[in-house]
Chain A
């Protein structure tokens, strides 16, 4: 299960707190993605990054923020502005977003807001 890792596996947070989810890849991939997975909803794109120091909003970016300071890392911050943050979060990467490359997924982080 190497290649793309996420930590922690489980995360608990109190309402009103920001929390940062880690995503690291050693595949030398240019593109990285964050998805949110809710039961019966499939995978919805939060943010994506095609290159270092650049990222774009996905379909459900409100209440989230990201950074891409290194090629290997794409952390996601869930802010207190996110109304319903409890979900399973998946990070993915692909060689390039300009071609039809397979997206490789990390093992996910399950966030629970108490």
Chain B
């Protein structure tokens, strides 16, 4: 399959740790990237490559990869982290780009 699968929704208590996962065959060959999207806004890159953050992204965001699963971890979730999170990767042939269906994160 060339799809990327994410859980539709996840919740976390304020200040706690949450992991958002993304599964797909192409993740065995290519690193996932992660985007945060808030209502009415464009997606924002938060994690790329193995575990790199663009300038300005808090270090509570981290990424990891194992087999066909990529994970985005938020350690000490804040209220402002409530958003939709999308994973992204190339397809199995490396020629096209896929997005996961997105995970809606609620911070309680």
- Do A and B bind? no
B residues near A (Cβ < 8 Å) are none
